[in-house]
Chain A
Amino acid sequence: MITTDILIIGAGPTGLFAVFEAGLLKLKCHIIDALPQPGGQLAELYPKKPIFDIPGYPSVMAGELVDNLMEQIKQFQPGFTLNERAETIDKLEDGTFIVTTNKGTKHHAKAVAIAGGLGSFEPRKPLIENIADYEEKGVEYFVKKPEIFEGKRVVIAGGGDSALDWSIFLSNVASEVTLVHRRNEFRGALDSVEKVQELKKLGKINLITPAEVKAIKGEEKVESLVIEREGEEMIVETDYFIPLFGLTPKLGPIADWGLEIEKNAIKVNNALDYQTNIEGVYAIGDVNTYPGKLKLILCGFHEATLMCQSVYNRLNPGKKYVLKYTTVSGVNGFDGTRKEAEKQVVKAIE
């Protein structure tokens, strides 16, 4: 069992910054995220795009902002449960919480801050009628364990970087790789496109374009796919079908936690401390809603800060505390480091 003071759900910018503000109050944080890396949308959707409205940064790449936040919180040693989705929440009699992920990892926390953005990222599934019947029976939406494809026939569908990259990678693992895309053009990085072109010439990747997988066939598992190319259908025998059409965020299981939901977001008690209708559970960043809400990273930072103050007061009733400025008080990391402003030199002029 993982234990922590504040369990943060979502490793986007708001969730990451919450670790810093909690650390100043000597509260330890642990973060759960469904993606394999921290950063949320910034890392998954647009790491190479600039953001222009982060105070103090005239322009910062989304990926760079995530790296900076990770550097900023390092001294507070946050724990991470990545690649797992928060599934259930149980409130114990003492007011603490147990949050369990889809893989069964349990987290015991004194407070929970949901910073889930638009939800956890899930694969966009193609509109093939019986696809759900073949999930984990030959249909894979992620390449988690490349070794399972060793010596197998694989069909990948999609036209972006992940379809290209995995086609290239699996061409050295699988016995046969077929890449299917609706267009002749791919929108991945140029060198990936060129590499696929080269592997096609070498006969290591079968390219079927402009085409679409229309149906899956097989008794117990995927045995073949019906692929339509320019109005003509063909059958391609395969062991695996990997559709890679990107990820889309879904609120998911959090919607069933008994929280008040409005417009696909979690309602909080206005801008006081962003607590939800469940005491001790907070919602910060894009995932919450209240009158005047703005879905901006900078607003998420503010909300994270107020949330941490509220958790501190809740866990330490009556204990005196005044807000401190980092310039004055410095930052004491949980790792024993200390950052502080240099002392002014005071010297008489003789």
Chain B
Amino acid sequence: MAADITIKITDREGVVHEVQAPTDMAMNIMELCRSYELAPEGTIGVCGGMAMCASCQCYVLNDVELPEMEADEDAMLSEAFYVKPNSRLGCQIPITEELDGLEIELAPES
């Protein structure tokens, strides 16, 4: 079994959670947040992970290299609120070994 990686997530209340994330379950950052219940159900991953709602928007806090943004994520962020230059959609970031040490903060609910 592949080793877990560590990701630091600041929730919407400002609480920092250091969580272990599996790299072999085809999970993404949005699903990781849901599995640890870091945001109430119904306020994150509303569209199920199709880059269609921006409820999993997060800010990337350190310079861990992430996969390039695809057109649908970019387009969704162009219509989302509270967007910053370091915004990403958690559902579009698959958990891989390269993400070890990543630090993110969940954007406010909108």
Contacts and interface: CB of A to CB of B under 8 A. Distances in A.
B55 interface: yes
Residue among A118, A183, A251, A263 facing the most chain B CB atoms (10 A cut-off): A118
A280 interface: no
B84 to A, nearest CB: 13
B41 A263 contact: yes
A118 B110 contact: no
A46 B75 contact: no
A119 B78 contact: no
**Interface majority SS on B: helix, strand, loop or mixed?**
loop
B79 interface: yes
Interface stretch (B22-30, B44-52, B57-65): B44-52
Contact of B110 (A41, A124, A251): A124
A264 B78 contact: no
A182 B81 contact: no
A329 B76 CA distance: 49
Interface in A151-170: 158-160
B55 to A, nearest CB: 7
Interface stretch (A25-33, A241-249, A306-314, A341-349): A241-249
Given A45-B47, A185-B75, A265 B41 contact: yes
A264 B41 contact: yes
Contact of A45 (B52, B75, B78, B110): B52
Given A159-B78, A181-B78, A264 B40 contact: yes
Interface in B76-91: 76, 78-79, 81-82
B104 interface: no
Nearest to A163: B79
Contact of A158 (B46, B76, B79): B79
A160 B79 contact: yes
B18 interface: no
Contact of A118 (B46, B52, B81): B46
B46 A249 contact: yes
Nearest to B108: A127
Contact of A119 (B40, B42, B79, B110): B42
B42 A187 contact: no
A49 interface: yes
B72 interface: yes
A41 B46 CA distance: 10
A74 B71 CA distance: 40
A248 B110 CA distance: 9
B21 interface: no
Interface in A111-127: 118-119, 124, 126-127
A182 B79 contact: yes
Interface in A239-294: 245-246, 248-249, 251, 263-265
Contacts of B46: 118, 248-249
A159 B52 contact: no
13 contacts: A41-B47, A124-B110, A126-B81, A160-B79, A183-B75, A183-B78, A187-B71, A248-B46, A248-B110, A249-B46, A264-B40, A264-B41, A264-B43
Interface of A: 41, 45-46, 49, 118-119, 124, 126-127, 158-160, 181-183, 185, 187, 245-246, 248-249, 251, 263-265
Given A124-B110, A187-B75, 12 more contacts: A45-B50, A45-B52, A46-B52, A118-B46, A126-B81, A158-B79, A160-B75, A248-B55, A251-B42, A263-B42, A264-B42, A264-B43
